[in-house]
Amino acid sequence: MGFKVLSGNGAQAEAARLARVQVIAAYPITPQTTIVEALADMVASGELKAQYVKVESEHSALQVCLSAAALGARTYSATSSQGLLLMHELLHWASGQRTPMVLGVVNRAVAPPWNIGADHADTMSQRDTGWIQFYPESNQEVLDTVLTAYRLVEDPEIRLPAMVTEDAFYLSHTFEPVDVPDPKVVDTFLPPKDARAILRPGVVSRLGSFTGPDHYVDFRHQVAEAMDRVLPKLQEVESEYARRSGRDLGGPLVGYRTEDADAVLLTLGTISTTARGVVDELRSSGQKVGMAKLRVFRPFPVEAVRALARDVSRLGVLDRSFTFGSSGPAASEVRSALYGVPSPPSVTSFLAGIGGRDVGPKDLHRVFQALLSSRSTGPRWMDLETDGGVVVHG
Amino acid sequence: MLEIRFHGRGGQGAVVASELLAQAVFFDGKVAQSFPFFGVERRGAPVTAFTRIDDHPIELRSFIEHPDVVVVLDPGLLRDTPVTGGLKPGGLLLVNSPQAPGAFSLPQGGTLATVDATRIAVGRKVGTATMPVVNTAMLGALARVTGAFTEASLERAIVAFVPSHPEENRAAARDGAESVRMEPVAPSSRPSPPSEEAAPLPFPEGPVASLPSNILHTSSWRTLRPVIDRDRCTRCNFCWEFCPDDAFDFDAEGFPVVKLLYCKGCGICATECPPDAIQMVTEA
């Protein structure tokens, strides 16, 4: 196929097409809309042979996908912000029923106040629902991650749902060149879904029905065990994808110039790209800094974080959302992962880019300077330290 | 790396322009990163779009504060948006305007360019007479004055990706390239030393939510205004009921009156009015 100019939303749709999804159900919401518009066009033109089910809400969209997946179909849906929140009940159903499915989520701020900018509060609010979570930084990574996510979740040892996110506008509406793999390559990597359906017409079986305290815990424990198998399995899946596509996604935590670094900043999503450029600038002026992109938030890559932290004295974690009463969600996970390790680094929680606030190189320079010079562990709201433009009171 | 910032309004095609530009640059064999930013999704609301062009992958994903080129799709934005904020000294300002470049100012010096993209779009029937889509004419002019991408690649992108009337859009792009005028401008005063915080930026850096319309000036988005014909009006109140912005009041006799402070010119009232008593009229 070769390179195409795609938006992040175009990359999601292109990946779903290459994965030959069979059932699509979605409800439009800004900034996700162009994903499902593109898929509707593909289905209407016959380019993609799938059932496109129109629904009246995100809750129903996920229910359609759940039912279709239980019958053995490969499904796709996409949403954002308030739409994901409305899906919340069924997110638990998806993991509890061990439903392999992939959901595209455009990360958008949660209301109020109403805001359509990039922010991770929507997906971070779903961290305990038993879904695998990926946070790509480029449209190429969006496409590659959707394809590897299908292969991962459909593995019989996993059978869990996954969400592949994109920062609103910074990916969803950004056009850039994307290397689109040949359909033959994808077909070999991702053969048709193993049709060992949970439900089959004519066979009496039950799914998700009443289970008392005698066995409920076994179901929950099985979800936990499956989640523990995700990271080793992801390594296998990504290695095979790299062999076939030539692109190495790098696992759950991708470090950059972390060797001999005094301070390392962990980032999620698109801020990672800008942070890499700032690390280069600081390195060229003699400052020993590095960064690491947290690609997978669930399951949390505890071992990778410990390995990164071994030779670093200061870790910063930059979150694009806040857990009220605590810190940035990734920061608290990093602290938890490092509890009990010998001579751990300090961990500072930074918040930036909330509600679509732009995070440019000068903002990240301030983050690195704070990380190198201060012993405060935050949480530090970087957005509030810049000139606020129009100031609002009340 | 060349950085371009676009200023337009919802409905003028700034978003499609940023996609077309990325496609054209790609056809030229270069790397583009192109993205729009809109605070609200309404026809007429100010829209900013950003494009970076380079020979190698772009390690930056943020707004463009110091562009090499600023493109203004709606000259009405010059009234209350500091569109040239952060424009590099020696940079280029391209404005959609029937006037000569000299009608505009660029105190820091650089190049001024104008093209009458509205007239071109109306002439080529791109969009409608009341809502012409000026993006392709502007891109044609941009290709000519910057040379950052070829006109051949732009036309190829238009034909491949413009969903309706690609040939008319291609003609508009050619007209834009042929008719754009440019003039170098010397700095009007001694250039001040570059300061990171000096120029106000034309996009929100801070909190702008929760502001009432009289502070946000949302009525400035309006390109058409409703005019009520009292002879036809039956005082049915449909306009008041359908207005999404509560922009109607009633006079002592019960006739609707438009509160222009809040009206964004969406035209829903005119569409819904049973006796067709409301006409949408172009703002002067």
Please give the angle made by the CA atoms of B279, B283 and B284, to the nearest 5 degrees. Answer: 130
Is the same domain home to A286 and A212?
no
How many other β-carbons are positioned within 10 Å of the β-carbon of residue A188? 11
Interface contact flag, B61 A271, Cβ < 8 Å: yes
Interface contact flag, B32 A270, Cβ < 8 Å: no
Residue A207, pLDDT score: 84
Q: Show the 3-state SS of chain B.
A: CEEEEEEEECCCCHHHHHHHHHHHHHHCCCEEEEEEEECCCCCCCEEEEEEEEECCCCCCCCCCCCCCEEEECCCCHHHHCCCCCCCCCCCEEEEECCCCHHHCCCCCCEEEEEECHHHHHHHCCCECCCCECCHHHHHHHHHHHHCCCCHHHHHHHHHHHCCCCHHHHHHHHHHHHHHCEEEEECCCCCCCCCCCCCCCCCCCCCCCCCCCHHHHCHHHHCCEEEEECCCCCCCCCHHHHHCCCCCEEECCCCCEEECCCCCCCCCHHHHHCCCCCEEEEECC
Chain A contact probe: residue of B1, B56, B61, B149 with most A CBs at under 10 A = B61
CA distance, residue B183 to nearest chain A CA (Å): 32
Average pLDDT over residues A323-332: 96
Average pLDDT over residues A96-114: 95
Average pLDDT over residues A40-45: 97
Which of A30, A169, A392 has the CB atom closest to B35's CB atom?
A169
B18 and A CB contact within 8 Å:
yes
Within a domain: B197: no
Q: What is the mean pLDDT of chain A?
A: 94
Tokens 């070769």 — which residue?
A2
How many domains are there within chain A? 2
Q: Do B6 and B73 form a contact (C-beta atoms < 8 A)?
A: yes
Within a domain: A226: yes
CA distance, residue A269 to nearest chain B CA (Å): 10
Within a domain: A392: no
Q: Residue B276 belongs to a domain with what CATH number?
A: 3.30.70.20
Q: Do B21 and A174 form a contact (C-beta atoms < 8 A)?
A: no
CA distance, residue B37 to nearest chain A CA (Å): 7
Boundaries of domain holding A176: 2-245
Within a domain: B272: yes
Within a domain: B190: no
Tokens 């970076």 — which residue?
B52
CA distance, residue A138 to nearest chain B CA (Å): 9
Average pLDDT over residues B182-196: 69
Q: Cα dist. A26→A36, A75, B49, B274 in Å? A: 7, 11, 28, 35
How many domains are there within chain B? 2
A219 and B CB contact within 8 Å:
no
Is the same domain home to A261 and A239?
no
Average pLDDT over residues A3-9: 96
Average pLDDT over residues A189-217: 85
Instruction: Encode pLDDT of A59-85 as tens digits.
Output: 999 999 999 999 999 999 999 999 999
Interface contact flag, A273 B61, Cβ < 8 Å: yes
Residue B212, pLDDT score: 58
Question: What pLDDT band is residue B188 in, cutting at 50, 70 and 90?
Answer: confident
CA distance, residue B1 to nearest chain A CA (Å): 14
A192 and B CB contact within 8 Å:
no
Question: What pLDDT band is residue A389 in, cutting at 50, 70 and 90?
Answer: very low
Question: What pLDDT band is residue B117 in, cutting at 50, 70 and 90?
Answer: very high
Find residues 179-238 of chain B whose CB sits inside 8 Å of chain A.
196-197, 203-211, 215
Dihedral (Cα; B240, B246, B250, B255), 10-degree rounding: -30
Residue B192, pLDDT score: 52
Interface contact flag, B206 A386, Cβ < 8 Å: yes
Within a domain: A295: yes
Task: Kindly tell me the burial class for residue A71, based on how many C-beta atoms sit within 10 Å of its own C-beta (0-12, 13-18, 19 or more).
Answer: middle
Q: Residue A370 belongs to a domain with what CATH number?
A: 3.40.50.920
Residue B245, pLDDT score: 83
CA distance A30 to A171: 13
Residue B190, pLDDT score: 57
B48 and A CB contact within 8 Å:
no
Average pLDDT over residues A166-177: 96
Interface contact flag, B207 A392, Cβ < 8 Å: yes
Contacts of B208 in chain A (CB under 8 A): 389-390, 392
